[in-house]
């Protein structure tokens, strides 16, 4: 931030920076964590909120978009849970405790406040100047969970992490380690039902031969602002599939930083962004191939209508020693109204010479011939539009083998279509 910008500190910056020392007393802390909070806050105070002059925030100027924020003491009815369900949605595990006589093995859950109090939570000492989400979250996080999956454990049910906010501010942190050879699935939901401002940081580590499917879904009210960061490290032969789903809100930014540090590790990232009304979305992703013989594919499908705006910034970085990398990235957007907009910026940064890498982006409208075909067979236009939209994203759903994940994605898309295409409240 320049000196001139500092003289014109925004109301949002004032709320964040003037509340820190008072708020610090209410946070789970020990001496080590307090020091890291102070370091993060120092960066936030020094740099302020980013503007479009910061390349990684080019499409999301927080100094303009965050004119004001709800106060910390306005938080109400906030609920964060970790739950496993039976197939009929009956709980078998809730916040670290089996329900009734349920036999649940291989998963260990601890409140983040307890772990922080013991000084066991690893927090980064290397927050970048443009890591605004990391700075805010490290300074203020209060809620969240630490989850450990035992080596060679197989958790047949999806582990549901639910973060529901009614109002005020909400800063949550999730720390997950999946042991060697373990198999599991996570569905992380962020639901904001009122005027809220929240940040979340999820740190995931996959040990050797671990396999994980991880879904992150954001659904916010018209006044909801959510800044989220997902960080993952893949060790040798680890396999990770990430599915990012954004169903709108006043502002959502989802960052994904994924490091492939073990040979033969594999990443599949899929994004489904359904944006309507005045919602604004920014997906910013960096995938780093750091060793030889790793693979990744990233596919984004975006549907934008109303006056919504969206952006995808995706970077694949291949280190000099990461020979035999195979990496592909594509971003496809469907624009449904003249007032909507989607920006795509896929990038490759390659320092190795024995690689197979590529990227691409497309923008299109609904095919009028296909729409006419469906209408000519007696299908009402809103229903026909919904069918074509579902077909546009169906590839990303149909490839999912986990029935719980597939059902969750189907229902999420159906709910969005009801509101934004079919006009059903």
Structure tokens at 77: 């009815």
Q: What is the pLDDT of residue 223?
A: 87
pLDDT in tens, 64-78: 999 888 887 655 555
Residue 29 has pLDDT above 70, yes or no: yes
Q: What is the pLDDT of residue 70?
A: 85
pLDDT in tens, 265-294: 999 999 999 999 999 999 999 999 999 999
pLDDT in tens, 228-256: 999 999 999 999 999 999 998 999 999 99
- On average, the pLDDT of the chain sits at 91
Q: What is the pLDDT of residue 174?
A: 95
Q: How far apart are CA 122 and CA 115, in angstroms?
A: 10
pLDDT in tens, 93-107: 899 888 887 788 999
Please indicate whether residue 82 or residue 89 has the higher confidence score (pLDDT).
Answer: 82
Residue 33 has pLDDT above 70, yes or no: yes
User: What average pLDDT does range 22-45 have in this prediction?
Assistant: 90
Identify the band that residue 3 occupies on the pLDDT scale cut at 50, 70 and 90. Answer: very low
Q: How far apart are CA 248 and CA 280, in angstroms?
A: 7
Q: What is the pLDDT of residue 326?
A: 97
């Amino acid at each position: 931030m320049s000196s001139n910008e500092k003289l014109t500190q925004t109301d949002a910056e004032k709320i964040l920076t003037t509340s820190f020392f008072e708020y610090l007393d209410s946070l789970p802390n020990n001496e080590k964590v307090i020091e890291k909070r102070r370091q993060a806050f120092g960066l936030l105070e020094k740099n302020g909120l980013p503007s479009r002059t910061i390349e990684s925030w080019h499409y999301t100027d927080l100094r303009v978009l965050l004119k004001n924020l709800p106060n910390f003491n306005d938080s109400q009815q906030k609920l964060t849970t970790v739950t496993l369900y039976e197939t009929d949605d009956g709980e078998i595990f809730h916040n670290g405790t089996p329900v009734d006589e349920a036999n649940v093995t291989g998963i260990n859950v601890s409140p983040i406040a307890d772990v922080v109090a013991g000084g066991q939570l690893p927090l980064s000492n290397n927050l970048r100047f443009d890591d605004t989400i990391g700075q805010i979250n490290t300074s203020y996080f209060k809620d969240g969970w630490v989850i450990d999956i035992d080596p060679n454990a197989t958790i047949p049910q999806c582990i549901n992490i639910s973060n529901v906010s009614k109002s005020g501010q909400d800063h949550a942190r999730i720390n997950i380690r999946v042991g060697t050879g373990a198999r599991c699935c996570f569905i992380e939901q962020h639901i904001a039902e009122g005027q809220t401002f929240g940040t979340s940081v999820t740190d995931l580590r996959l040990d050797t031969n671990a396999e994980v499917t991880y879904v992150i879904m954001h659904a916010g009210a018209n006044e909801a602002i959510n800044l989220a960061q997902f960080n993952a490290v893949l060790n040798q032969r680890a396999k990770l599939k990430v599915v990012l789903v954004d169903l709108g809100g006043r502002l959502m930014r989802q960052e994904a930083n994924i490091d492939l540090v073990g040979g033969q590790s594999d990443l599949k990232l899929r994004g489904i962004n359904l944006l309507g009304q005045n919602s604004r979305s920014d997906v910013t992703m960096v995938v780093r191939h750091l060793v030889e013989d790793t693979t990744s594919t990233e596919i984004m499908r975006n549907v934008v209508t109303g006056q919504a705006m969206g952006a995808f910034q995706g970077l694949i970085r291949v280190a000099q020693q990461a020979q035999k990398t195979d990496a592909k990235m594509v971003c496809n957007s469907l624009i449904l109204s003249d007032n909507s907009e989607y920006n795509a910026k896929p990038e490759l940064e390659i320092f190795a010479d024995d690689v197979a890498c590529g990227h691409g982006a497309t923008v299109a409208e609904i095919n009028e011939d296909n729409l006419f075909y469906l209408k000519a067979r007696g299908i009402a236009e809103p229903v026909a539009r919904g069918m074509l939209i579902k077909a546009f994203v169906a590839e990303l759903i149909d490839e999912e083998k986990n029935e719980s994940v597939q059902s969750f994605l189907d229902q999420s898309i159906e709910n969005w279509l009801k509101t934004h295409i079919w006009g059903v409240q």
